[in-house]
Structure 1
Amino acid sequence: MTESEAVAEAPAKGLRREVLVVLPGLMLAILLAMLDNTIVGTALPTIVGEFGGYGHMSWVVTAYILAATVSTPLYGKLGDLYGRKRLFMFAIGVFLIGSVASGAAQSMEQLIAFRALQGLGAGGLMVGVMAILGDLVPPRERGKYQGFMAAVMMVATIGGPLAGGLLTDHVDWRWAFYINLPLGAIALIIIATTLHLPRHRNKAKIDYAGIALLSAVAASLVLVTTWGGNEYEWDSPQILGLSAFSLVALVAFIMVERKAAEPVLPLRLFTDRNFTLINVVGFLQGFAMFGAMTFIPMYQQIVQGLTPTESGVFFIPMMLGAMVFSLGAGQIITRTGKYKIFPIAGGAVMIAGMLLLTQLTTSTSELTTSIYMVVFGIGLGLLMQVTMLVAQNSAPQRDIGVASSTSTFLRNIGGSFGVAAFGSIFANQLTESMSGKLPPDIAKNFSGGGTGGLEPSKLAQLPDKIMDVVSGGVTDAITTVFVWTIPFAALGFLVAWFIKEVPLRTGGQPAKEEPKEAEPATIAA
């Protein structure tokens, strides 16, 4: 070890002990962001059944993901410029306000709007945690801590469907949102009292033009994937106009970012090969993962006849597999410094899981479905933490926030596209599969503005012959969604092979690469 390496590594050893003080607050913030994604999924069939309009079901998820995605780069850049603590606490506050409003929603339109408000807060949670961790822990040591974070994500994904089912069955679906309040309050107290990061006094001009154009690109593309083939034909003026607008906005965004003093998404980061490749993998991973997982509870509750609680229970094996393999990957990366194998192996296992899920039928048992989901979960576990780790290691320390936000942004935008696109595929295939097979008075419940929709409690009252048609249609639609996820997962697998095994840093960056106003990060016990 050289003298400079020894000096760089020395502070990291001290931080490893003290970082445990603030770690619970960071883990609760991750829990908030992830729990809200999973807990709502189990309650969604009941929510849609109450409010009507299953054709807009995907927007309950898409609005949240889109808002979080659009706000993520802003949180990352402002954190780099002005410090992270207050911004992080602000994000938690916005998220909690959105949670209260979503729980009090009285229509599908209100719920979608309040979910977007939640998403504006959520955009700062994930990137805030990862950037703070990047400030406190060097990349070589970060695998262990990101393993803890990945485990929390898995706990949220396990507990979310189960909690959503219990609350929906025994209390009210609105508590799927209200449950965030005590968790958020505890997180705020811990962060306020234990986290002390340097305050940056940077006079750089905020890249408002870049923020506006990036938001326009993301929003227009999601609208294209959501409305195309559903609300409007793919060759309609609306879809063609949105597509053209997104292309123009993208070109304008690139031109603005090349000249901006402090770009919201610095294009210089993409000159690093690994940064570009790992973010392509993250985008495709989000596209396939969010798109696929949104519809699993629908299959379990409608076709297999599970209650929301039972649906949550059957998610546990999948998430346990993901959690175990994610923790194991983090430990191996910390010990060896090697990481390239994990996105490759994770991609291969995820594809295998998706192939198995395309084999679902109306008679597939709950045990068989769980086995398929475990395979899918193992793939997720191998992939989840590597994308952020490689992205942060590929950027200078002064850009750790924007590197984290870019990685999160691209994964989330992939998820938003996936949910929107696969939601359209699901709706179109469902309509096609049941076309002409249902009486008119029942068929109207499955139109976009219907009031009966796919609520499991109402479907259980249908005659067996009609229920067979509905189950068959839902199964066809969901397996079609999984078929469409495979090409995107396969492309991510191929891209992962081109990632270079660049050594993980064992300490901080040289002083010349740090911003002048930065000070060593400290944590108060």
Structure 2
Amino acid sequence: MASQVQTAGVGFRSERGPVLLSVMLCTGLVALDSTIIATAVPSIVRDLGGFADFPWLFSVYLLTQAVTVPLYGKLADVVGRRPVMFFGIAVFLAGSVLCGFSWSMLTLILFRAVQGIGAGAIQPISMTIVGDLYSIEERAKVQGYLAGVWGAASVLGPTLGGVFAEYVSWRWIFFINVPLGMAASWMLARHFKERITRREHRVDYPGAALLIAGCSLIILGTLQGGTSWAWRSLPSVLIFATGAALLVGFVFVERVAPEPVLPLWVFRQRSLVGGNLSALIVGAVLIGLSSYVPNFAQGVLGLGAVVAGFVLAALSIGWPLASSVSGRVYLRIGFRDTALIGSGVVVVGTVMCALLSERTSALALAGACFVIGVGLGLVASPILVAAQSVVGWDRRGVVTGTNMFFRSIGSALGAAVFGAIANATLNDRLSHPPAALAGRIPGGPDATSVVLGSAGQPTDVAEYLKASLYEATHHVFQALIAVAAVGIAVLLFMPRRTATPEPAESVTPEHAAG
């Protein structure tokens, strides 16, 4: 690979600034779409119906995003970053427009899947471009900017979704992506150039198909198990068995594929194994907090939606702050030890969440979220930079995509597992109320909605519903402690020191690859 080397500075003042801005805008598209739909769900259900199916609006987007990431990572190393990024943006925007014109819940779910297919390219290729343009010393600060985009999206997303749903139309939460995506595409086309030496490639389509199908079935079984069917029922056994068989077939295909979509060497290098497992833990912790902190804040503490959003925003404040300074730390003590410190901080934060009572303050909950955010910032950036630093340009897309894949899979599995824990607790509480409340506790598909908004219920019923929700979220917080503790263990797979670091240099946007 021939490249023009230049150290023109970090961030927006260098000639790489416009590329970074466009990457941040692309990242913002994915981040915003992950949060903006939450507050618009009631309006969507009123228009389209399908209350029982609306959770798929979140899970199908996450699923298609996760399983396509490795394929995009490989394609980025084969044909370059630009075409894969432009393809992802185009598919994402097409899905957004289709979502805006949806005429039923089923069509909206299908078009959300299209959005996820596009998002599967945008997030990892954005990180890969950053890995190409910035040196190890610079990346932590730049990734702090990207983490800040996610932080801003977590605050602005629910607010914008509520504004659109209440004052305009929920359809505009999708249409708003079009001008933003076009602006990002224009900036990338104008400022990010690359020259690829073309050679014959064989894209591993059979391996990609097996990976996508196998992961889809495993996640489908996890998401729906215990809800649509019993865990030990025939559908559950068949789905998990078929998914496992497809993944076993995927391993055999990858062993003989000339250019595997997810090469097995990724699972033989300790830096990559430890980093990928750690990314899975990060994804699980992140989805657990994002899903249940708002419920705890509103349903247990009685806070308003805006205040609950600001409580969760404390997580997003801590993450970019820690991410931006993590570079100074890992350059001194190494990637693994920095991530171990971060994992310890995450454990402390999850313990703080588990110790919260029904009468805790919003400030205490925000403080726990901030601590966890700091911990995640000290984990996510070092493990990604470590993965990128042990390979060359031609493999950086694969390892970045793999890291993002594991984080997305962690979120998907975490959502299912934490949901199962919370639902089991609520079902038990609502099915076995005290004798004095027998026959007065709601049941059926609307039970959770009543729990989250118990206004209008008699005082004793409302208190019992509030206590039920507290117990459910408390069990989720306890599970988060266990997950965070596993995060410490998996980092021990990483060597204390990685391979020789890259030189302190960066390539210009007009870089050449061959």
Normalising to structure 2: TM-score of the pair? 0.88
DSSP-derived class of the 2:195 partner: coil
Of 247, 250, 253 in structure 2, the residue corresponding to residue 250 of structure 1 is 247
Q: Which residue of 1 aligns with 2:490?
A: 495
User: Contact 1:76–1:401 (CA<8 Å) still a contact in 2?
Assistant: yes
* 2:174 counterpart of 1:141: no
What residue number does 2:378 align with?
Answer: 382
Residue of structure 2 in register with 1:277 after alignment: 274
- 1:96-120 Cα distance to aligned partner (Å, 9 max, x none): 2223333444554343322222111
Q: 1:363 aligns with which of 359, 363, 383?
A: 359
Cα shift at 1:166: 4.5
- Counterpart residue number, 1:92: 89
Which range moves more in the overlay, 377-386 or 253-262? 377-386
In structure 2, the CA distance between the partners of 1:72 and 1:9, relative to structure 1 (3 Å rule), is closer
Structure 2 residue corresponding to 1:472, chosen from 463, 467, 470: 467
Cα deviation for residue 282 of structure 1 reads 0.8
Residue identity in the other structure for 1:420: A
Which amino acid in the other structure matches residue 26 of structure 2?
A: A
8 A Cα contact 2:311 2:369, kept in partner: no
2:403 — aligned with what? 407
Alignment-mate amino acid for residue 287 of structure 1: A
Q: Residue 427 of structure 2: which of 427, 431, 436 is its match?
A: 431
Q: Determine if the alignment matches structure 1 residue 422 to structure 2 residue 451.
A: no
- The separation in 2 between residues aligned to 1:456 and 1:229, in whole angstroms, is 20
Greater shift, 282-291 or 156-165, is seen at 156-165
Q: How far is the alpha carbon of 1:505 from its aligned partner?
A: 1.0
1:24 paired with 2:21, answer: yes
1:285-344 deviation line (CA, Å, top 9, x unaligned) = 2122213321222222333333333322222333222221111113544x6483323211
The CA distance in 2 between the partners of 1:55 and 1:183, in whole Å, is 32
Counterpart of 1:513? none
Task: Give the 3 Å change call, closer, same or farther, for CA 311–103 of structure 1 in structure 2.
Answer: farther
> What CA distance in whole angstroms lies between the structure 2 residues aligned with 1:21 and 1:341?
33
Amino acid at match of 1:424: A
Deviation at 1:419, TM superposition (A): 0.8
Deviation (angstroms), 1:218: 0.8
- Secondary structure in 2 aligned to 1:163? helix
Query: How far is the alpha carbon of 1:142 from its aligned partner?
Result: 2.5
Name the CA distance, whole Å, in 2 between partners of 1:103 and 1:51. 12
Partner of 1:394: 390
Structure 2 CA distance for partners of 1:363 and 1:57, relative to 1, 3 Å: farther
Change (3 A) 1:371 1:507: closer
Show the counterpart of 1:443.
442
Q: Identify which of 305, 328, 341 aligns with 2:325.
A: 328
The residue type equivalent to 1:401 in the other structure is: G
Q: 2:292 aligns with which of 295, 315, 321?
A: 295
Q: What RMSD over aligned residues (CA atoms) do the two structures have, in Å?
A: 3.1
Give the Å deviation of 1:274: 0.6
Asked if the contact 1:288/1:418 (under 8 Å) is kept, the reply is: yes
Output one character per residue of 1:332-381: Cα deviation in whole Å (capped at 9) or x when no partner. 44x64833232111111112221222234433322222122222222122
Tell me which residue corresponds to 2:7: 13
In 2, the alpha carbon distance for the partners of 1:225 and 1:400 equals: 31
Taking a change above 3 Å as real, the CA distance of residues 222 and 469 of structure 1, as seen in their structure-2 partners, is same
One-letter amino acid of the counterpart of residue 323, structure 2: S
Unaligned runs of 5+ in 1: 1-6, 510-518
Instruction: Find the aligned partners of 1:460 and 1:497 in 2 and give their Cα distance.
Output: 48
Measure, in 2, the Cα distance between the counterparts of 1:275 and 1:246: 24
How far 1:51 sits from its partner (Å)? 6.6
For residues 174-189 of structure 1, the aligned pairs below 5 Å read: 174-189=171-186
Separation in 2 of the partners of 1:141 and 1:281?
22
Equivalent position of 2:510 in the other structure:
522
Q: Is the 8 A contact 1:163 1:309 kept in 2?
A: no
Aligned positions of 1:42-81 closer than 5 A: 42-44=39-41, 56=53, 58-81=55-78
In structure 1, distance between residues paired with 2:200 and 2:4? 32
8 Å CA contact 1:60, 1:112 repeated in 2: yes
Uncovered stretches (5+) of structure 2, i.e. residues with no partner: none
Matched residues in 2 for 1:168 and 1:332: separation? 44
Tell me which residue corresponds to 2:122: 125
Relative to structure 1, the CA distance from residue 117 to residue 467 in structure 2 (aligned partners, 3 Å threshold; closer, same or farther) is: farther
Q: How many residues align?
A: 504
Indicate the larger mover: 455-464 or 470-479. Answer: 455-464
Give the letter aligned to residue 364 of structure 1. T
1:522 shift after superposition: 0.5
Q: Per-residue deviation at 1:9?
A: 10
The CA deviation string for residues 169-219 of structure 1, in whole angstroms up to 9 with x for no partner, is 655544443333332222111112111112453321221110111012211
1:410 is displaced (CA, Å) by 1.0
Change (3 A) 1:200 1:411: farther
Within 2, Cα distance between the matches of 1:118 and 1:166? 22
Q: Which amino acid aligns with 2:253?
A: V
- Whether the 8 Å contact between 1:299 and 1:478 is mirrored in structure 2 is yes
Q: Relative to structure 1, is the Cα distance of residues 478 and 54 closer, same or farther in structure 2, using a 3 angstrom cutoff? A: farther
Distance across 2 between alignment mates of 1:161 and 1:208: 38
Residue matched to 1:312 = 309
How far does the alpha carbon of each residue in 1:220-259 deviate from its partner, in whole angstroms, 9 at most, with x for none? 1112211222222222111111222122112111110010
**CA shift digits 1:28-74 (9 cap, x unpaired):** 11111122223334545775688777765543322111100111111
Partner residue in 1 for 2:35: 38
**Given residue 87 of structure 2, which amino acid in structure 1 is its aligned partner?**
F
Q: Specify whether residues 250 and 234 from structure 1 end up closer, same or farther in structure 2 by C-alpha distance, changes over 3 A only.
A: same
Partners of 2:235 and 2:125 lie apart in 1 by 36
**Per-residue deviation, residues 420-463 of structure 1 (Å, max 9, x unmatched):** 2222222222121222547869724x42xx5x851799643333
1:463 to 458, 473, 484: 458
- Does 465-474 or 185-194 show the bigger shift? 465-474
User: Normalising by structure 1, what TM-score?
Assistant: 0.87
Give the 3 Å change call, closer, same or farther, for CA 131–40 of structure 1 in structure 2: same
Task: Identify if the C-alpha distance between structure 1 residues 455 and 122 changes in structure 2 by more than 3 Å, giving closer, same or farther.
Answer: farther
Distance 2:169 2:454 in 1: 19
Change over 3 Å in CA distance of 1:47–1:364 after alignment to 2 = farther
